[in-house]
Amino acid sequence: MAKDGKTSSALRKGAWSEEEDSRLRRSMEKYGVIKWCDVPSKAGLNRCRKSCRLRWLNYLSPSIKRGRFEDDEEDLIIRLHKLLGNRWSLIAGRLPGRTANDIKNHWNTYLSKKIITEEKSWNPKTIAKGTTSVKPREKKREFEIIKPQPRTISMTWSWSKDQPEKGEFEIIKPQPWTIPVNWSWLKDQPVHRGHFQDKSGINIADPLPSSANNNVSREESATIIPEKLDDVFFGIDDMTVGEMRNNFEVGNTGGNGDELFFLQEDAGWAAFLLDLNL
């Protein structure tokens, strides 16, 4: 069999008929999520698996939200696009019911133009030039995308009930690192770029850098006194470590797998673990 289901020219392509839609819908309702390569035969469709997958995920799935994008959705897309670039699936993961394809289309047909218009409206230089069109090179310069490179940061926080007088807080990273952090998708919070910051009760080797640029550049481990949890500030909507303990449920995962939030209670200890791949 050829790669990606390109088995023969007999496979149907192009727009889906109502009959095909209902066959696929019935199959998905009956069998649920199975291997996509099995879907065409189970549904009795003369379509390749990719076509079936796309039709389901972008159109037929009952979780899809239809209709125009709300203002707050557009605002979130713009903010996330600044942070993530054209990683549409990641952006879609923060907008329940919206597909990556929907968001990509909306961006390409509307939002990118809207941003250019707004940018020009407050950019005196652009106004002075009186330009009415943005050349590709200018566009790239004015709207440079922050596209973080893939990396993993592990951070653990734990305390022992047996030794309640002292807990541990540790950021593990082989080398010093600098990243912008966005926490908003974790608890449906409005978008804020987070930063790690201490208020008091955190004993670190060196003073924290200024958080003015919302970046972190440090390699630290620190000790937190459990009684001071509510004084240790994480920079997540001003959330403290203590509040984070209360706000994240056991085994709660955030986003679509790019980050993992996990808080667990055990007989003798509790731990908070965050893995970020940005």
Partner DNA sequence: AAGTTGTTCAACCGCGAAGTG
Partner DNA sequence: GCACTTCGCGGTTGAACAACT
Q: Which of residues 10-39 bind DNA (CB under 7 A)?
A: 12-16, 35-37
Beta bridge partners of residue 272, listed in sequence order:
157, 263
Nearer to DNA, 51 or 182 (CB): 51
Q: Which of 73, 88, 157, 186 binds DNA (CB under 7 A)?
A: 88
Both tokens of 18, joined, read: 């109502």
Residue 117 binds DNA (CB under 7 A): no
Q: Which of 42, 82, 87, 187 binds DNA (CB under 7 A)?
A: 87
Site residue total, DNA (CB under 7 A): 35
Q: Mark the segment that binds DNA (CB under 7 A) among 83-91, 123-131, 222-230, 236-244.
A: 83-91
Nearer to DNA, 35 or 137 (CB): 35
Query: Shortest Cβ distance from residue 168 to DNA (Å)?
Result: 30
**84-119 burial, b if ≥16 CB within 10 A, otherwise e?**
beebbebbbbbbeebbbebbeebbeeebeeebbeee
Q: Which residues bind to DNA, rule: CB under 7 A?
A: 1, 3-5, 12-16, 35-37, 49-51, 53-55, 58-59, 86-90, 100-102, 104-106, 108-110, 256
